[in-house]
Homo-oligomer: A and B are copies of this chain.
Amino acid sequence: MDKTTADHLTWHSHEVTKLMRSKQKNQQPVLLWFTGLSGAGKSTIANALDYALYERGLHTYLLDGDNVRHGLNKDLSFSDVDRVENIRRIGEAAKLFVDAGLIAISAFISPFRSDRQMVRQFFEPGQFIEVYVSTPLSVCEDRDPKGLYKKARTGVIKHFTGIDSPYEAPEDPEVILNTGEHTIEECISQLLTYLDEKQLLLPPST
């Protein structure tokens, strides 16, 4: 065995751990998983939270339809099997971001309890924060910002959540927001209060 081969084999690996990445960023990595109907305000609040955390000097990343559907998950259809796979991959990607020491935020309808439960189990206890944007269907449908409810009602879109496909509300989410009753600012305030109370905006303790 020559010298350089020996060097390779005896090289002591210095791995950068999740804790080291977190401490470097002076924060605790978590995933805030937004769920709710189309038009409930998930993306709007998730973006606003992302910005609020950024302004506090925290290191975040937002996963949403804009950066996932046309990239990582662009091969997936809207079939039942592919919808599960869509959520699984988002959950696994979010886990990597949390492993990178970031505060990850995701905003997807994710209508099924079993899928959200699957993702929760990817994470250590306390690192998966389910945020239920509970805006009622009637309010979402009145808003219809993308015209999707109209298309679903007229049958142009099939299997639309809330119309001809179920939305299974979380049974025990960490946070419940209602943009039908509260402003975006109030929702962000509620989220920051939750994170503060759980001491999740403090540097890692160990």
Which residue numbers of A lie inside 8 Å of B, CB to CB? 1, 4-5, 7-9, 11, 13-16, 20-21, 24-25, 41, 44, 47-48, 50-51, 54, 57, 59-63, 67-68, 71-72, 75, 85, 89, 92-93, 95-97, 99-100, 102, 122, 139, 142-143, 145, 179-184
In the complex, what residues of B have CB within 8 A of residue A122's CB?
71
Contacts A24-B54, A44-B11, A48-B11 given; does A16 touch B60 at CB 8 Å = yes
Contact in complex: A47, B93 (CB < 8 Å): no
In the complex, what residues of B have CB within 8 A of residue A11's CB?
44, 48, 184
Contacts A7-B183, A8-B184 given; does A100 touch B102 at CB 8 Å = yes
Minimum C-beta distance from A45 to chain B (A): 9
The 3 closest A-B pairs by CB, nearest first: A14-B51, A72-B92, A61-B100
Q: A5-B139, A16-B60, A96-B97 are in contact. List 18 more A-B contacts (CB 8 A).
A: A1-B142, A4-B181, A4-B182, A5-B180, A8-B143, A8-B184, A11-B184, A14-B51, A15-B50, A16-B62, A21-B61, A24-B54, A25-B59, A67-B99, A71-B92, A72-B89, A93-B93, A97-B97
Contact in complex: A184, B48 (CB < 8 Å): no
* Copy count, this protein chain: 2
The CA of A139 and the CA of B15, in the complex, are separated in Å by 25
Contact in complex: B75, A183 (CB < 8 Å): no
Contact in complex: A20, B93 (CB < 8 Å): no
Minimum C-beta distance from A101 to chain B (A): 8
Contact in complex: A16, B54 (CB < 8 Å): yes
Contacts A63-B96, A100-B97 given; does A75 touch B85 at CB 8 Å = yes
Contact in complex: A14, B92 (CB < 8 Å): no
In the complex, what residues of B have CB within 8 A of residue A24's CB?
54, 57, 59
The CA of A100 and the CA of B99, in the complex, are separated in Å by 14
The CA of A57 and the CA of B153, in the complex, are separated in Å by 53
Contacts A24-B59, A71-B92 given; does A15 touch B51 at CB 8 Å = yes
